[in-house]
Structure 1
């Protein structure tokens, strides 16, 4: 249910295009194309979107979204994925639903899939400091790395505990592989439960993440066995669908989103090679270009507290109703994912000074990268835009019959507020010592990226569903953010 090795996460520690001005011409072109596409008949739109998903591997410079520089494999070349219940590359989904039907528990394989004789299955206890350290070391040295081997994700132990222990988490879904002789942890895959709405259907799914195999064992074909094993264990719990992401094109993305980056510490980003000075750009001018105000400007902005959980859950579920794919968050989910944890995640709400109503919220999380072979810097501190919500005039919008007019009216209504909030998010992220603020082109992020001087990155993230046919989803209709 995920990719292999370094591409399993998909966020290939993406770097920016060359720094110039804050203008993003490619994003504007894409926006205009989307507007034109909406004028086409519905059946034509569907076929074009399916084609665009396959074309999304090209970033306009001849390199692929996965960084491989190659076109995606054909179905026949996908020796593993062609055996799985996933949408085929050339398939246009007409009717949504499961690809394979659920089976009774007694029909699910009762024993783990066999491993090569020198390996053995294990469960990684993320509540045990020794084992979480083992997992941290495996991921730090072997997980997602950019294609030029300059940056590598550096997940902290606290981050992993947060990511792997949401409400309803199961130890049996934290699956590891050890060397039988010395018990060294050499591979891992995980799943967490999530109620996910796909268009109008809400399904209990599992989010698959952190598929990692030691670099020296990539030829052992352990990834397919890990994927089959986590699938077997989720089937034992009565869950038959999953969501996952990858930086490579597998059969078949339901959506593809590009990365955008906003510099907070331009000098460091240039020194590490994350970004570059464009011709006729000086460091002084670059620093001035990305300067921010010292203080936030939204009245009533404060850290989220436990007392805000109910209001934030209601606000978020109402806001994400506008998207085609989005989680359904209960109060326990909001409490776990969105209340600030030092060094891991920051959640802020806006409380109306007069009514005391929670009107908006936003969040971002920390995912630093190790800077490989840099003489001056060891770590790049990156903040990632997470979930947020602003109030939308739903009643007024519902009176607009034309879909395109309604979309424009909605964007006009929320853009000023969202830009202001995300500018405050940038200020707070800089205050917390972050060097760059990353954002995917999903939800309403396109409304703020240009004005706040985000630049397009060189990477794309592909979203997938396992055992569920889903019509192609526009990036701006994706309301799911996976770590």
Structure 2
């Protein structure tokens, strides 16, 4: 066991001993009811829960990670300084411009990393509906919330597409409480082939990282990352790609988050960041008006017969980007074939039957808390848009029309790929939140956001809701 792991275990064991002493002392007056702190919180009225969570958020703001490179250079990254990632001063452990920072280990640790007393590892069986439901519960209550605690992300069983071709069950790594088997932590990765400049690399894409909000000060996040790294290394892979709004050592690229209102009345009423704050309702409705019907000839929903054509259109776009996924036909089917409430993909078919364009967006559902009228929000997030014949702005405008007709309230996108060619033109508004791309154990020059192609289904970076994460790395 490493010294950091041993210290964490000792600290958390001490916490557990202290809590046991208090429990014995208070047994004489304690009323019957749930004794688990998490259960006690959940037993409170929802309004009271929100007050407590808002207070926790205000506390976590002082402990959050830096948001800019200038702040990051003054910050001590207790965990990441031990990892094979580029340093914030531009140097790294590797001696080459492109390539691994450290070579693959000769031997990989066989035993799992130690957890605090009272917790244990569990490889989640995501083919089990009960386990899936349990995971959704953990994510919905702990993954993301907005800053004023009024909007909470709502995962669905259909969305957790964590079993793409060549998936590995050991990479679905959970943490449970021994006493009641409650799931309190989860991290997942999926295999991916990525083009990094001219290098094709098989690595993993980290998809989800979630720790119960009551355990975030216990430094469980670094242990989750170490354990997933160990399990990936056991399969002979030593590189990873991941994204986060937090500034860590060191971003490969950074992009901004943009919103386009489709239902301005609702966005204003729930105070969504996608609403124009300087507009009254009447002006906002007029400003965001869209055509009633699409205008691109041959635009239609994608089908199974379109998979090869979609793959061809996307591959033709690869030469324009320095970071892009390389998807097999099976992966195109897994990530892009339309699925209700998960992903919508449309193609543009030319007169000769060949595909000349593709556009896809995935669904983000959020619960609206404590509102007298609205209970939920539907957001569409752009994944891919590519065309060899249709102007991208025209194709994107048609996509907005389609999304609005399907009941979405807001459309969001990153300023990656060629998206900047239409974002302002189609009245998207830029947010103050950035998403950063990172490579683990790989050194290469940084790149601008227009040289980055979206990774398949980057598991919900509904970024206005993720700013509050209070992890300590």
Q: TM-score, normalised by structure 2?
A: 0.79
Q: How many angstroms apart in 2 are the aligned matches of 1:317 and 1:324?
A: 13
1:374, distance to aligned residue in structure 2 (A): 2.5
Instruction: Say which SS state the counterpart of residue 249 (structure 1) adopts.
Output: coil
Q: 1:427 aligns with which of 377, 401, 410?
A: 401
What does residue 244 of structure 1 align with?
242
Give the deviation of 1:388 after TM superposition: 2.4
Quote how far apart the aligned CAs of 1:357 are: 0.7
Given that 1:176 and 1:185 are in contact with CA atoms closer than 8 Å, whether structure 2 keeps it comes out as yes
Give the Å deviation of 1:450. Answer: 1.0
- The 8 Å contact of residues 67 and 247 in structure 2, kept in 1 or not, is answered as no
Please tell me whether Structure 1 or Structure 2 has the larger radius of gyration of its CA atoms: 2
1:148 Cα offset (Å): 3.0
Question: What is the match of residue 356 of structure 1?
Answer: 353
Kindly indicate whether the alpha-carbon contact (under 8 Å) linking 2:296 and 2:395 is maintained by their aligned counterparts in 1.
Answer: yes
- The structural deviation recorded for 1:68 is 6.5
8 Å CA contact 1:72–1:250 kept in 2: the answer is no
Tell me which residue corresponds to 1:86: 85
Query: Against the structure 1 CA distance between its residues 370 and 470, is the aligned structure 2 distance closer, same or farther, given a 3 Å change threshold?
Result: farther
- Equivalent of 2:322 in 302, 321, 324: 324
Give 2:171's aligned residue.
Answer: 173
Q: 1:436 & 1:374 partners in 2: Cα distance? A: 18
1:224 is aligned to 222
Does 1:126 find its partner at 2:100? no
Unaligned runs of 5+ in 2: 1-63, 460-473
Mapped contact 1:257–1:461 kept (Cα < 8 A): yes
Q: Which residue of 2 aligns with 1:260?
A: 258
| Deviation for aligned residue 1:144 | 1.9
Matched, 1:292 2:290: yes
| Alignment correspondent of 2:100 | 98
Structure 2 residue matching 1:157: 3-state secondary structure? coil
Contact 1:366 1:383 in 2 (8 A): yes
Contact 2:122–2:174, Cα closer than 8 Å, also in 1: yes
Looking at structure 1, the residues matched to 375 and 68 of structure 2 have their Cα atoms a distance apart, in angstroms, of 29
After superposing the two structures, state which structure 1 stretch, 189-198 or 87-96, moved more: 87-96
Once the two structures are superposed, residues 416-463 of structure 1 have per-residue CA deviations (whole angstroms, 9 ceiling, x without a partner) of 610111111111111111100000010001001011100001211011
2:261·2:411 contact (CA, 8 Å) conserved in 1?
Answer: yes
Which residue pairs with 2:44 in the alignment? none
Aligned length: 391
Any conservation in 2 of the 1:259–1:438 contact (CA below 8 Å)? yes
* 2:372 is aligned with 1:370: no
How far off is 1:151 after superposition? 2.4
Structure 1 residues 99 and 337, CA gap change in structure 2 (3 angstroms): same
Which whole-Å deviations, capped at 9, do the CAs of 1:21-79 have from their partners, x for residues lacking one? xxxxxxxxxxxxxxxxxxxxxxxxxxxxxxxxxxxxxxxxxxxx978699534477101
Give SS of 1:270's match: helix
SS at match of 1:159: coil
Cα contact 1:196–1:205 (8 A) shared by 2: yes
What CA deviation, in whole Å up to 9, does each residue of 1:75-129 have, x standing for no partner?
771010000000010115771110011234xx00111101011100001111111
- Write the deviation string for residues 298-340 of structure 1: whole angstroms up to 9, x where unpaired: 1111111111111111210111221000001111111111110
In the alignment, structure 1 segments of 5+ residues that lack a partner are 1-64, 392-413
- Aligned residue number for residue 144 of structure 2: 144
Structure 2 CA distance for aligned equivalents of residues 357 and 169 of structure 1: 32
Aligned: 1:77 with 2:80: no
Report the Cα offset of residue 389 of structure 1: 1.8
Q: Please say if residues 240 and 440 of structure 2, whose CA atoms lie closer than 8 Å, have aligned partners that are also in contact.
A: yes
* CA pair 189-265 structure 1, distance change in 2 beyond 3 A: same
How far apart, in 1, do the equivalents of 2:372 and 2:438 lie? Answer: 39
Structure number with higher relative contact order (C-alpha < 8 Å, ≥ 6 residues apart): 1
Structure-1 residue corresponding to 2:233: 235
Does the 8 Å contact 2:101/2:441 carry over to 1? Answer: yes
| RMSD of equivalent CA atoms | 2.0
CA distance, structure 1, for counterparts of residue 170 and residue 276 of structure 2:
48
Which residue of the partner structure matches residue 428 of structure 2?
A: 454
